[in-house]
Amino acid sequence: MRRQGRQPDQADRWRDRKRYLWPLGIVAAFGPGIAWLLVHYLSWGIFWAVGFLVFVVLIPLIDLLVRLDQVNPPDEVLARLEADPYYRWCVYAYLPVQYAGFFFGFWCLAHAPMATGERIAMSMTIAVSSAIAINVAHELGHKKPRLEKSLAKIALAPSAYGHFYIEHNVGHHVLVATPGDPASARLGESLWAFWPRAIFGGLRSGIRLERDRLRRQGKGFWTLRNDVVQTWLLTAVLAAAVAIAFGPGVLPWFVLQAAISALILEGVNYIEHYGLLRPVGENGRPGKILPEHSWNCDYICSNLFLYHLQRHSDHHANPRRRYQALRSYDTAPQMPAGYAAMLLLALMPPLWRRVMDPRVVAHYRGDVMRANVQPSRRERLLRRFPPPATERAAAIAPPSKGREKPRGVTPRPAVGVVDTVWGRFTHAKT
């Protein structure tokens, strides 16, 4: 209780306005059930793809219509906010709903009358649930409690992407925004070229990192103490359970939804660090990870469904900070739309380059040589963005030498639809 006579301070007055909106993220977990209801009562087969349609149509549309959310919790409330168990249960609840939706989706694939295209549509709906579960695993896998680490592995089983548990935490968070990171996209690199590099490079990295960890303990790779092997076994058990329950004929759809969910995850990785580079210090190692090394956006709907993943700079600065306490930074480069819309844009490389390449160059004050450039496109980019003569001769330095500061607690005014659609997609920020 507040002491009598004490004036309320900012920490006392502050309330999380999104507190009771966070459970909305669970809706995606039961996408197959929602799809069945819509098809059953409306008789439109397109609704088998409802999970995918929500991801690529509804969420981007709401992002465009609703004001940006740039409100940060004051420093004084961070500890209290992170300790609140309500937010943990919002994440924990995703898993039982995800698995219920997963098995119901395969029941539909086995028993509901569907054409081949409709089965693909249902696989896409299941895949969106599995992809968001990877993000749930991302939130849980960074935390210390053993329970949360175990739940992270369970969340990764449907996507067959268990190596992410190791590669992301031990690999990506060390090499982020460097040419050696398979999960950091380079300026000029298309999503289609990034996908195989990220998928196979991440798999190799996860296996190598876990093999090296076990070797230091005097153990071989093939042991149940291997976190990668554990997640592979969970996926194998899940696939066997699906085949036993609904017949081996559903296994191709299991593989399809897992593949799509992996592509969505790596598509988000493509967006998060596109073209951004940590400069190498005098010791030959990449410099400190700063807010400038992750693309951010403050669109409220996509952030609710992704548990603040789009406040990515603060996540890299404080990997164990819980999603509800992540902050928005003024010094972080900003995406012109939420991740869902940007992923659609990335599928069309010419449009993506038209929108994003000028933003990357503007972020580096016109000097393209300071970006993380795809080697095969270096000359083309230099012709398109000739660096200033003074910058060309200068040593590479971080874009901002000032102390990085989170945004204040006052939200930016609402952004109009016309401004969002036209101005944000045709002009780079300077």
Full 3-state SS string of 318-335: CCCCCHHHCCCECCCCEC
What pLDDT, on the 0 to 100 scale, is given for residue 417? 37
From first to last of the 430 residues of the chain, give the pLDDT tens digit.
333 433 445 666 788 999 999 998 898 899 999 999 999 999 899 999 999 999 989 999 999 898 888 889 999 999 999 999 999 999 999 999 999 999 999 999 999 999 999 999 999 999 999 999 999 999 999 999 999 999 999 999 999 999 999 999 999 999 999 999 999 999 999 999 999 999 999 999 999 999 999 999 999 999 999 999 999 999 999 999 999 999 999 999 999 999 999 999 999 999 999 999 999 887 878 889 999 999 999 999 999 999 999 999 999 999 999 999 999 998 899 999 999 999 999 999 999 999 999 999 999 999 999 999 999 999 999 999 998 865 544 444 444 444 455 655 433 333 433 333 334 333 443 3
Overall pTM surpassing 0.85 (yes/no): yes
- Token pair, residue 16, equals 């999380």
Whether 54 is in a domain gets the answer yes
Whether 6 is in a domain gets the answer no
Whether 9 is in a domain gets the answer no
* Helices 146-156 and 94-111: angle between axes, nearest 10 degrees: 20
Q: Which residues contact 172 (CB under 8 A, 6 or more apart)?
A: 181, 183, 184, 202, 269
Q: Give the closest residue to 275 by CA, choosing from 193, 368, 172, 346.
A: 368
What pLDDT, on the 0 to 100 scale, is given for residue 409? 42
Count of structural domains within the chain: 1
Range of the domain at 55: 14-426
Please, which contacts does 79-82 make with residues 24 or more away whose CB atoms are closer than 8 Å? 80/11, 81/16, 81/322, 81/324, 81/325, 82/321, 82/322, 82/324, 82/325
- Token pair, residue 213, equals 């960890």
Q: Are 129 and 98 in contact (CB under 8 A)?
A: yes
Task: Identify the burial level of 350 via C-beta atoms within 10 angstroms of its C-beta, where 0-12 means exposed, 13-18 middle and 19 or more buried.
Answer: exposed
Name residue, tokens 């569907």. Answer: 114
Whether 232 is in a domain gets the answer yes
Question: Facing residues of 286 across strands?
Answer: 280
Q: Are 353 and 194 in contact (CB under 8 A)?
A: no
Instruction: Tell me the Ramachandran region of residue 8: left when phi exceeds 0, alpha when psi lies from -120 to 50, beta otherwise.
Output: beta
- In whole angstroms, how far apart are CA 3 and each of 6, 83, 173? 6, 22, 43
Whether 2 is in a domain gets the answer no
Whether 4 is in a domain gets the answer no
Whether 35 is in a domain gets the answer yes
Whether 271 is in a domain gets the answer yes
Q: Are 298 and 337 in contact (CB under 8 A)?
A: no
Please, which contacts does 424-430 make with residues 24 or more away whose CB atoms are closer than 8 Å? 424/336, 424/337, 425/336, 425/337, 425/355, 428/355, 428/358, 428/359, 428/361, 428/362, 429/333, 429/334, 429/359, 429/362, 429/363, 430/362
Q: Give the closest residue to 228 by CA, choosing from 175, 160, 135.
A: 160
